[in-house]
Structure 1
Amino acid sequence: MNTAPEPGAMIHTDHPFATPEGDRDPARRLRGRLTAPVTVWTSGKTGLTVSSMMVAAGEPASVCALLDPDSDLAETLGDNGRAVINILRWPHRTLADVFAGLHPSPGGMFRTGDWTDGPIGPILADAAGTALVTVTDRRPLGWSDLITATIDEVTLPEGAGDLLAYTRGRYRNLGQ
């Protein structure tokens, strides 16, 4: 008995929609080799997974991030200019995908995870940390909007060492 699969019936190990090697954007490949934090920014009743961000120490301390200008969060920030940055932990992988629009969440995105109402937007109860920020500048940069915000308040609970990071197209567990 022949158990070999029929031609065309094989399951391939590579991604079916991946850009061919020779056509890949060098800047995206460079970015893919940098480890990025995974956060969810919330404001009002909306949120977005954001990994292109950094913190600048100073008086006042600031955060810079790249946001999708067409996202609901970018629109909400245009209205009130304040956000909550929720730093994600390893168990929050599905939550990160929900807020990135990659995974369904029946009943709405805030049905995934344990959220509490905050003064600016929902706060993830078991986040590795949170920051309340006020947007001070917004301008187009590449395909994104560069958001600069002042850090108003930071909360860092003890023992949140299993941080969620993103590199080379995959989530990584930092802090083990």
Structure 2
Amino acid sequence: MNDPVTTIDSRFSDPDAEPTSWSATREVLENAQITWLTTVRADGRPHVTPLVAVWLDGALHFTTGPEEQKAVNLAANPNVVLTTGRDTWDAGLDVMVEGPARRVTDPELLGRLAAAWRTKWDGQWVYEVGDGVFRNDIGGPALVFAVDPTKVLAFGKGTFSHTRHVPRQGR
């Protein structure tokens, strides 16, 4: 998502609050070390798990093993929420990304994503690309998913603000 429509919700914001800019929101997504993924089980119960994610090309990307609960849930319902931020009340910015998760299998994009993971975590997350998945020496294949946001919420703390970023129509 680039150049979204940005609005502030005055119902949940301090009277003097300004909307959080898209660049500040995107910076939180780009730099987050942990992101929490929420999926929905087939019986409707939520499933929440922490993971590492990469922001690239206007989408938030994450991985999962094909047999993990995340993958099972996504096969039935691709709609997810990814959340990151700080565990403080009076400082920082919390960000929520909502949208459908789609599999990434393109070798060129997977290569760029593998490089992004390696760079973001100083070589601690090293993936090779093969057969439309990530591979490493820790376990089996890792499916890669992208979430193109349908909505991003940014919650400013200290001066409380509730900002909504949505894609522009026609893009």
Regarding TM over 0.5, the answer is no
Asked which structure has the greater RCO (Cα within 8 Å, sep 6+), the reply is: 2
Bigger Cα Rg = 1
Normalised-by-shorter TM-score class: 0.3 to 0.5
